[in-house]
Amino acid sequence: MSPFLHVANVTREVHDALMRWARRLLQEAGLESMEVYGQFPPAGTVASHLVLFPYHVGPEPKMVETSPGASLLGGRPLGSDRVNLVPRPWLELGAAFAACLQEVFTLAPIVGNQRAPGGDIVPYPRLTALPEPLRAWYLDGARGRRNDWLVDSEGMQFALPPALTWHPGIVVTARYIAVVGEPGRGTSERTSVSAPVSLSALSVLTAGLHMDNMLSVRLAPLPCEDMLLRYGEALARCFDGGADPRAQRLSEAIRAVQRDDELPVQIYPIHDLTNHEFALLMQALQKPLQAALNLQLRLHLGAQPLFTPSAAVQIRASNLPERR
């Protein structure tokens, strides 16, 4: 799946969840007859309705991530400002990957039968020193493309270690305006005995922003390179054909990152629109000045894992559990 297709799916699912949130609140308030739309209905609509219209989408000021990313393999600890943005399945996959890679790359001979001194990780093991499943992956890793995972030197082939990096995305704010349409009530009518339904509907949404302001959105898994999945499967088979607990942990982590995930999204009120800005917004929407509610969603979009050959080993034994 393209990362841009994933972004489109996320925004669509979040918008639909917001519509369901508004319908549920109105139903619980006894306003179940009111329709909820994501855009303004055509003129002539008879039934009372609520419109949740997105009027601004863009990056949050001062919240555009400019970091080059951080390794999930333990070589560089994730900063506290980004660690919570990495889905837990990917953190667990990185830890399982690192534990298995440490074992394989430490045991690989440097020259002849000589092992790495002091249990250090061999940066570029000879291809023939790797276990057969991983050796087969390196020979077939590029799948018809130029193989960037192998280096030829003095008639021998050496394997490059993998890098699994979390590339952070950006925080995108989607601002909505909630407006109630009452086609049966003329704008020139005197105040009637019954209060306008907009007062009740918008009050319900305002209370919802305080009492029930979380959306739970079920999303498809993040785009994941097939090359990464095949590498992980080959790495797991290096440990007793996959029967070793470390291999089972890695296999489970691979399955976990391919499952659907639950994304919590909070709905925030907007308090920074002045009367003048609000009047200009209603004018741009070609709507008469009327009661309205402004709210916003903050979405973390564009984050993705990157799996590439590395010029340097990103695994550090000091950041991993002690091997048994």
Render pLDDT for 239-254 as a digit per residue (tens, 0 to 9). 887 788 999 999 999 9
For the record, the structure tokens of 307 come out as: 């799996």
Q: What would the pLDDT profile of 88-132 be if each residue is shown by its tens digit?
A: 899 999 999 988 888 887 765 554 444 444 445 566 788 888 899
Q: What would the pLDDT profile of 26-78 be if each residue is shown by its tens digit?
A: 999 999 889 899 888 877 666 788 999 998 898 876 555 556 678 888 755 55
More confident site: 24 or 222: 24
Give the pLDDT confidence score for residue 65 in this predicted structure. Answer: 54
Please, what sign has the CA dihedral across residues 84, 85, 88, 91?
negative
Residue 292: pLDDT band with limits 50, 70, 90: confident
CA dihedral 225, 253, 91, 309 (to 10 degrees): -40
Query: Mean pLDDT, to the nearest integer, of 12-34?
Result: 94
Give the pLDDT confidence score for residue 317 in this predicted structure. Answer: 44
Q: What angle do CA 275, 280, 284 make, to 5 degrees?
A: 150
Q: What would the pLDDT profile of 298-320 be if each residue is shown by its tens digit?
A: 988 888 899 988 866 555 444 44
More confident site: 173 or 277: 173
Half-sphere exposure of 82 (CA within 13 A, CB side): 23
Give the pLDDT confidence score for residue 87 in this predicted structure. Answer: 85
Give the pLDDT confidence score for residue 70 in this predicted structure. Answer: 81
Give the pLDDT confidence score for residue 68 in this predicted structure. Answer: 67
Query: Mean pLDDT, to the nearest integer, of 7-14?
Result: 93
How far is residue 210's CA from residue 229's CA, in Å, rounded to a whole number? Answer: 43
Mean pLDDT of the chain: 80
In this model, does residue 161 exceed pLDDT 80? yes
> Which amino acid is located at 150 in the chain?
L
Residue 204: pLDDT band with limits 50, 70, 90: very high
How far is residue 37's CA from residue 40's CA, in Å, rounded to a whole number? Answer: 7
In this model, does residue 192 exceed pLDDT 70? no
In angstroms, how far is CA 121 from the centroid of its own chain? 32
In this model, does residue 223 exceed pLDDT 80? yes
